Structure 1
Amino acid sequence: MYGARAANGVIYITTKKGKKGERAVINARTQWSVSNLARSESQKEMMNSEELQQYWLESSYRTQAQIDQIKKDWPNDTYWADVYFKQDVPMKQYDMDISGGSDKTEYFVSASYLDQEGVMYRSGFDRITLRSNITTTLNNWVKLGLNLGGGYDRRQTNQHIENSLNGGLSLLALPWYTPYDENGKEYTGRQIPGLALYHPHYLADMFPSKVKTQKFNPTGFIEVKPISNLIWRTQGGMDYYNYRTTSRRLASYVGNLNNGTAGEDWSQGVSRTLTNTLEYKWNVNEINRLTFLAGQEYTDFQSDLFSASGTGVADDRLSQLANVTSGQTINQRKTEYAYNSYFGRIGYDFNDKIFVNATIRQDASSRFGKNNQKAAFWSLGANWNMENENFIKDHTWVNALRLKASIGTSGNSGGSGPSWNYQHLATVSSGQYNASSAWGLNVAGNPDLTWENQMMANIGFDARFFKRLNIEFEVYDRNTTDLLMDVPYPYTTGYASILSNVGKLNNRGLNFQISYDVFSSPDYYLTPVINFGYVKQKFKELFQGRDYWIIPNTGVSYVVGDPISFFYPMLKGVNPDNGNLEWYVPGEDNTKTNTDPENVTSTFSSAALQQNTGIKRYAPINGGFGLNAGYKGIYLESYFTFSQGKYLINNDSFFFSNPSQFPGVNQTRAVRDFWKAPGDVTAFPKIGVTRQFDDSLIENASFLRLKSFTVGYALPKSILEKSNFFKGAKFYYTGRNLLTFTKYSGADPEVDSNLTTGVNPNTKQSVFGLQLTF
């Protein structure tokens, strides 16, 4: 029922509401927290001064005399992670809401303020949000509702991230250099002696970047009951944003003195949705009930972007765009799309035992050519409430048992971003040719482009046994056809690829959740819970008769008969006889993993040696487990998440553990295990042999993480009643990402990507909160 963009699942959100006839209830909450990097293992694995100097001696990179001079000139041992990343970063948040209602009206009003610093210098986020939700019944046949939400936030970002020596690669800094001068002050206005880099705080001050965002998302509805059991509902809403980025390089920056830059990016967008439904409930008799629903929904989106930048700003006080004197650039873009849908549903209820739903939906999208804009999707589902059957009622240990099954189709019209909106059209762009204005072909277009289709079937059950054991179980089979994929074409056509409907993909798996009420009473309770998901993925068909396709610049490949996998040259290891690296030579079919120890080479070629590593891009097993417990006002909630079979390309390791490729910078302790003489069995080759982009960079990123842990105390009602003012009060501590167990050597194993490039990792937070209700 959720339409065109539900192919990847639906998140259903119901905003909080008041209650009819309830006096006003006020909730006030305040939270304070500190944050640190969730994991610091990668930073701690970098060598200290003594270790690196000894390594340089062993590898003959420096002589003893040179090392002695370094110790004399630079008697320091700096842990650079503490310079580039902040510790105990503060956050504060204040929330208040008021809810209640009269005989005909329900209301809920809330406000929130959040102020949070980032772990990198000059990074942070502060936000104000407001929301009101009002529903009123005018009379017996008309009901109105209005939900208003809005917010304003400011974000400050450090521009030196990812593969930057002033960001993600900052740990390469030599540990004997120091960021402080002889007076103990940070170097400002000049580079750190020896390091040839500016202090990260000074650099961030000289390259400020700020983002301001305003959002407004109102929704209103009218619900009319013209006759008994018939409901007509019209709902309209929009989601509006205004987004502005201001970035500068100050003119006082000594690295480019009196030549500052100014840049402004502005964009706004609005998504509007109008939905009309008509629902009729027909009770045929006491045990047979039918529900009919028909509806129409229209959604559109429009966005505008404008940006300008330039250089040549001579003074920090002249930072506006009007003061740039050279290198002026401008950019403007507009994009839009629309969907129009019609849908219907028939629901059947037999004596509160058997429930059947059938739906049909037609979606039309402007993203496709006029001959392919429309597609129809359907679903059929059933639910058998077995605990109401006589043959189950006799078994008192069965408290609830529901069997459920469904099958249906849905459509996908592509991803986010403006490039998806016009792929069916042949488009052009402007440029210069022979010093004259010109235009050229930009996108080939595909008038046959249409919907990606998905059919999913599942069957499962929900049950409760012995008034303690709760089980939810489901198995599913999902087949995706006509995938929206970039199909490669020879460059002689003028295009590298054209978006097309090709290929077939199957995902088959199961999900279950189990909880058990060990204790359950008004004074104490104890409930452990575990959930588990497993998926088996297989590509069933590609395009152009291919058996495989490597997505350019990713190391990820589609292989018919296999899941999405990593395709890389496979490293055999270090040859103990000569200290060179050796790689397995692929067989005739490089979609099959070949690790024949008799067929290796020491000559590296990314194109010639790439093969199917057999390592899956997506983890097949994901889940979590936790515990809810309480005793007379004291409560505890904890939850772990885990992922098994997860792998990441640790791009950072290419820099941090590659001394021959990047000499003269710090490295991990692991590189000390290098080849020195025939017979040595080592992890790293002899000095002078560089590490390559091969499967040794693909690391096992399976993890177990304590995602959240809360312990608190709620004051008993006997104490609160004496005040005749407070209805509730609780104090609590919440920890997030407190513990992480993984073999992954990078900063964060939870990254959902094929490759990590030094971006800000997750943080662990300790939150202290107070909530009052009155």
Structure 2
Amino acid sequence: MKKVLLVLLALCTFVLNDVFAQSRKITGKVLGSDDGLPVTGATVRVVNSTIGVQTDANGNFSINVPSNATSLAISFIGFTTQNVSIAGKDVVDVKLQANNNQLTDVVVIGYGSGKRAANVVGTVSTVSSKEIENKPVANAFDALQGKVAGLQIFTSSGEPSETPSIRINGVGSLTASSSPLFLLDGIPVDQTTITSLNPNDFEDVTVLKDASSTSIYGARAANGVIYITTKKGSTNRPSTIQITTQAGIAKIANKDFFNRLMNAQQLLDFRLNIPTGLPGALTQQGVNDIRTQFGANTDTKWYDYFYKDQTPTFQTVANVNGGGGKTTYYVSAGYYKQPGLAYRSNYERYTLRSNINSVVNNWMQFGLNLSGGYDIRQTNPYGSNSTARGLGLLAAPYYPTVDPSGNDYTFIPGWNAYNPRYRASKNIDPRNKTSFNPTGYIQLTPFKGLTLKSQAGLDAYDYRFSTIRLPSYLGSINNGSVREEFQRNITRTVTNTAEYRFSFLQKNHMSVLAGQESIDNSFSGFWGSSTGQVDDRLILLNNGPSSRDLASYKSEYSFHSLFGRVSYDFDTRYFVDASIRQDKSSRFGANNRSATFWSVGGMWKLKEESFLKEVNWLDDLSLRVSTGTTGNSDFGVDNQNYLSLALGSTNTYNGGAGLAISAPGNPDLTWEKQQNTTFDVTATVFDKVRLDVAFYNRVTTQMLLAVPYAYTTGYSSIYQNIGKLKNWGWDVSLDFDVYKNRSKKAYITPYLNFNFNQNKVQELFNGKNYWVQQGTGVAWVVGQPVSFLYPIWKGVNSQTGLPEWYVPGADPGVTRKDDNAITNTFNTAGLQQNTGIGRYPKLNGGFGLNAGYQGFTLAAQFSFSTKKYLINNDRYFYENPSQFAGYNQYTTITDYWKQPGDVTRFPKYGVQFTQFDSRLIEDASFLRLKVFTLGYSVPESLLKRTKAIKGLNLFLTGRNLLTFTKYTGPDPEVDSNLALGTNPNTKQYTIGLDVKF
């Protein structure tokens, strides 16, 4: 038996030696063809065998193959399996083709290398350049409204240079800023900087929402992060020249508000029926006199006079991109012009960008992005309580705008006000802004897996603005005035990172990142003014002999940070990452300048488990969980850089210069902190339906609150870290392919996304259960959402015609509607109580459709907001005929009480119709057709004949084409507690042409 075993052992040894003698080693690297990034965890298998390995963290593999093997099969989820020949080869590099963009998009997760969306633990959403470019509006974020679940974007004004309000998953603070952190190619920038950039230069915009993706940014990331990546060239495709131009017109988005006002005959009839002796009453003779004086048929539509009927919009952009050897380039230039609809409103922008990236050798590469912009802008200042526009519709429609000869009046008769066009031409405020946003980096790979990167960038601008009243202005003839102001803002950022990516035991992949970042800002400015200029041609400061004045100012801050992250996955199935960051800020007290933020998160790819791998209809199923902390250092006020310090200021005493204490300071002031926990499930079924559902819980503590103090202390308030606020809710995204036919380039893909958010005040200061923000109509009530606090309207007493309000209980923070406790005597402070109406909307989102067929494309994008409420302050003026006698009013005011038994909206005439009570709190929910685009791409077969044109697209685009709302003010999209004199949003119609050479 022993001899037999020895013989068999010898035979096996001979066979094995023969096999190994005939095997060989193949090495290589697997990259994604779309982005050139390593594909971690890809399976490399010898065709027709069970021999296989997985790629490491850098996409590398090494495999022993039999001598008779001829090809390898490389596969990874989201990519098309590719067979490659290995005949006569020892090194094989492979570029996999993506087959599902949803799974292969590369996202930025905070420093270091990007990751594929399918492998990211954090909750992130990316919007591609196609969704952003060629929109007929200066602001890039406007195009994102309704595109990302949890991202709330409201444009509160029709000014072309308007910066929208942006929030991610609710409001993170009661008084500090709730705006996210904005990053441009990794460099922090101010939100206003984005308006100065060309949106066509954006490759994509990534929204980071949960702690796993934001905690690495620590400081200022409490409200999420918006990361903008600009376009780059490529050596994988031919160089191209692209020119895009479009032109169109802008109009008022929705005229329902203007149509609610009376015409001339309605207003005269109303005044004729007012009881004699009461404010605004007219006799028939008075009506006749008005018609005789101002024209029998005069019926002025004042909104046509305060706003232009339409204005032209125009933009053109051109770029050259490509590469040669190991260097890529993207160079672009752009021009945009949009006059505002309100007089003295305009925006004009010039942009230039150059992005260069070069691989010097196998261990060094560098890049330099240069971005510059110059814009000229003017804004209409006559909002709020100004009858020069904001409340200009109070003008009676029977006042004429032109004289008998058809010429415009300079001074409107009857109205006793200057023609708004004349006023705009004589009171000007030219402004210009020059911005510069360079970013440069150098990256070293001293040995396999280790990447060292240093990056530096600027967010810099010079802003000059003037306020000029020409001497020829009849309101101040030969007495012009000039104010010139100059501002310079520079934010410098330097970041250094070291990242090491490696694999062990084949299926274990890990990356370790460590970094340092320094940010400092300097803001300074000066202004001068004078009056008394006598000639429109001589309006410099030195031409004004009177009221000469000047001032200068300066403010600085800095951040210094250390951070790190560890990411690990097993078999590209189980993922864990953790991050930590320490920040120091000059804004906080000497005792508490440092804070540490952290996160931990995990992802489980259930689809990769054996019990789901063979389920053909399920393409992807992943579960993500994360929790962590972030910080906020933005107080939301102008002097925020020095609120922790005791400050002094100069004054004048007894004719001499003196010093006075202006702020008490707080050396213990520190970061506002937030903890965010998120559960997220993503799934793809039938290779058609994609669903993402996330639940989050955000708790903000140590809020930066200005705590009220007794005036006897010498100060009205002192900033402290106190209070607690909670936001929680759901983000849901769904899109599905109803139809897809690749051969006909046909597809129909509808989508829906929304965020449902609730907030609750959990703790205030000094043991208080509620606090009223004076003059805002808003209160913080412990255990309740941030709510409107106003006297609650009961109605009009049908027997007496008097108005009635509910009397609040002992605690105004608790809503009380007791029919046995009412009053007809109005008192703002005495009657205010919690209305039970939340200040912030609960549901925001969007839905739409992308479709195409044989070169034709259609995109419809709707956005909506529900449970959104707004104090409509306009109604106080337009529904108060006895308070504003003789002024124009809404047609609703005819519904007032006249005799016992009448059930009416308003009380009897002579009693004030409208007070500042709950009636003014309106449902400002809205649904808007935000963007509608119809395009056509000329077939390549036709373009080939030109031997020059590679692509030719024609497109028609509309913005804000439809608006559905019950809100009676000028525009429901205002993001504020109160709206008055709003400059309404605009709608645009444009036609465009895109050509590639």
TM-score with structure 1 length normalisation? 0.98
Hey, what does 2:286 align to over in structure 1? 66
Does structure 2 conserve the Cα–Cα contact (< 8 Å) formed by 1:293 and 1:344? Answer: yes
CA distance in 2: counterparts of 1:418 and 1:312, whole angstroms: 32
Hey, what does 2:858 align to over in structure 1? 636
- Offset of 1:417 from its aligned partner? 4.9
Residue pairs, 1:676-687, within 5 angstroms: 676-687=898-909
Tell me the secondary structure at the aligned position of residue 53 of structure 1: helix
Tell me the secondary structure at the aligned position of residue 384 of structure 2: coil
Aligned residue among 956, 968, 985 for 1:745: 968
CA distance in 1: counterparts of 2:821 and 2:470, whole angstroms: 57
Hey, what does 2:928 align to over in structure 1? 705
- Offset of 1:434 from its aligned partner? 4.0
Does structure 2 conserve the Cα–Cα contact (< 8 Å) formed by 1:146 and 1:221? Answer: yes
Does structure 2 conserve the Cα–Cα contact (< 8 Å) formed by 1:21 and 1:103? Answer: no
Does structure 2 conserve the Cα–Cα contact (< 8 Å) formed by 1:22 and 1:102? Answer: no
Hey, what does 1:622 align to over in structure 2? 844
CA distance in 2: counterparts of 1:401 and 1:26, whole angstroms: 41
CA distance in 1: counterparts of 2:432 and 2:271, whole angstroms: 48
Are 1:538 and 2:538 matched, yes or no?
A: no
Hey, what does 2:240 align to over in structure 1? 25
The amino acid of 2:322's aligned partner reads G
CA distance in 1: counterparts of 2:371 and 2:505, whole angstroms: 43
Are 1:35 and 2:257 matched, yes or no?
A: no
CA distance in 2: counterparts of 1:134 and 1:415, whole angstroms: 37
**Two-structure CA RMSD over aligned residues (Å):** 1.1
Does structure 2 conserve the Cα–Cα contact (< 8 Å) formed by 1:159 and 1:204? Answer: no
Stretch of structure 1 that moved more, 435-444 or 169-178: 435-444
- Offset of 1:150 from its aligned partner? 0.4
Are 1:349 and 2:569 matched, yes or no?
A: yes
Aligned residue among 365, 368, 371 for 1:149: 371
Aligned residue among 220, 223, 227 for 1:12: 227
The amino acid of 1:86's aligned partner reads K
The amino acid of 1:439's aligned partner reads L
CA distance in 1: counterparts of 2:450 and 2:541, whole angstroms: 59
Does structure 2 conserve the Cα–Cα contact (< 8 Å) formed by 1:399 and 1:463? Answer: yes
Does structure 2 conserve the Cα–Cα contact (< 8 Å) formed by 1:210 and 1:245? Answer: yes
Q: Could you list the per-position Cα deviations for residues 208-249 of structure 1 after superposition, in whole angstroms to 9, with x for gaps in the alignment?
A: 111010000100000011111111100000011000001111
CA distance in 1: counterparts of 2:874 and 2:880, whole angstroms: 10
Are 1:579 and 2:806 matched, yes or no?
A: no
Higher relative contact order (CA 8 A, sep 6+): 2
Are 1:772 and 2:995 matched, yes or no?
A: yes
Hey, what does 2:201 align to over in structure 1? none
Are 1:695 and 2:918 matched, yes or no?
A: yes
Aligned residue among 407, 423, 439 for 1:203: 423
Residue pairs, 1:476-487, within 5 angstroms: 476-487=696-707
Aligned residue among 507, 514, 529 for 1:287: 507
- Offset of 1:552 from its aligned partner? 2.0
Identity %: 48
Hey, what does 2:270 align to over in structure 1? 55
The amino acid of 1:704's aligned partner reads L
Residue pairs, 1:352-371, within 5 angstroms: 352-371=572-591
- Offset of 1:44 from its aligned partner? 0.9
Aligned residue among 147, 154, 167 for 2:389: 167
Aligned residue among 881, 885, 888 for 1:666: 888
Q: Kindly tell me: are residues 519 and 551 of structure 1, through their superposed partners in 2, closer, same or farther at Cα, counting changes over 3 Å?
A: same
Stretch of structure 1 that moved more, 414-423 or 455-464: 414-423
CA distance in 2: counterparts of 1:618 and 1:21, whole angstroms: 48
Does structure 1 conserve the Cα–Cα contact (< 8 Å) formed by 2:790 and 2:917? Answer: yes
Q: How many residue pairs end up in the alignment?
A: 772
Stretch of structure 1 that moved more, 571-580 or 545-554: 571-580
Residue pairs, 1:86-105, within 5 angstroms: 86-105=308-327
CA distance in 2: counterparts of 1:418 and 1:749, whole angstroms: 28
CA distance in 2: counterparts of 1:36 and 1:156, whole angstroms: 18
- Offset of 1:287 from its aligned partner? 0.2
The amino acid of 2:889's aligned partner reads Q
- Offset of 1:122 from its aligned partner? 2.4
Residue pairs, 1:244-643, within 5 angstroms: 244-522=464-742, 523=744, 524-643=746-865
Larger Rg over CA atoms: 2
Segments of structure 2 that go 5 or more residues without pairing to the other structure are 1-215, 276-280
CA distance in 2: counterparts of 1:257 and 1:533, whole angstroms: 56
- Offset of 1:416 from its aligned partner? 4.7
CA distance in 2: counterparts of 1:759 and 1:427, whole angstroms: 37
Tell me the secondary structure at the aligned position of residue 582 of structure 1: strand
Q: Could you list the per-position Cα deviations for residues 679-701 of structure 1 after superposition, in whole angstroms to 9, with x for gaps in the alignment?
A: 21111122222221111111000
Tell me the secondary structure at the aligned position of residue 230 of structure 2: coil
Does structure 1 conserve the Cα–Cα contact (< 8 Å) formed by 2:262 and 2:888? Answer: yes
Are 1:213 and 2:433 matched, yes or no?
A: yes
Does structure 2 conserve the Cα–Cα contact (< 8 Å) formed by 1:159 and 1:209? Answer: no
Tell me the secondary structure at the aligned position of residue 640 of structure 2: helix
Does structure 1 conserve the Cα–Cα contact (< 8 Å) formed by 2:303 and 2:393? Answer: yes
- Offset of 1:357 from its aligned partner? 0.6
CA distance in 2: counterparts of 1:343 and 1:26, whole angstroms: 41
The amino acid of 2:238's aligned partner reads R
Tell me the secondary structure at the aligned position of residue 418 of structure 2: coil
Hey, what does 2:401 align to over in structure 1? 179
Does structure 2 conserve the Cα–Cα contact (< 8 Å) formed by 1:148 and 1:217? Answer: yes
CA distance in 2: counterparts of 1:268 and 1:423, whole angstroms: 22
CA distance in 1: counterparts of 2:887 and 2:654, whole angstroms: 46
Q: Could you list the per-position Cα deviations for residues 422-456 of structure 1 after superposition, in whole angstroms to 9, with x for gaps in the alignment?
A: 00011122233344433322222111110111000
Tell me the secondary structure at the aligned position of residue 138 of structure 1: strand
Segments of structure 1 that go 5 or more residues without pairing to the other structure are none
Q: Could you list the per-position Cα deviations for residues 344-394 of structure 1 after superposition, in whole angstroms to 9, with x for gaps in the alignment?
A: 111101111111111010011100012100000100011112222221111
TM-score with structure 2 length normalisation? 0.77
- Offset of 1:665 from its aligned partner? 0.6
Does structure 1 conserve the Cα–Cα contact (< 8 Å) formed by 2:684 and 2:691? Answer: yes
Hey, what does 2:261 align to over in structure 1? 46
Does structure 1 conserve the Cα–Cα contact (< 8 Å) formed by 2:340 and 2:347? Answer: yes
Stretch of structure 1 that moved more, 596-605 or 50-59: 596-605
Q: Could you list the per-position Cα deviations for residues 235-266 of structure 1 after superposition, in whole angstroms to 9, with x for gaps in the alignment?
A: 00001100000111111111111111111111
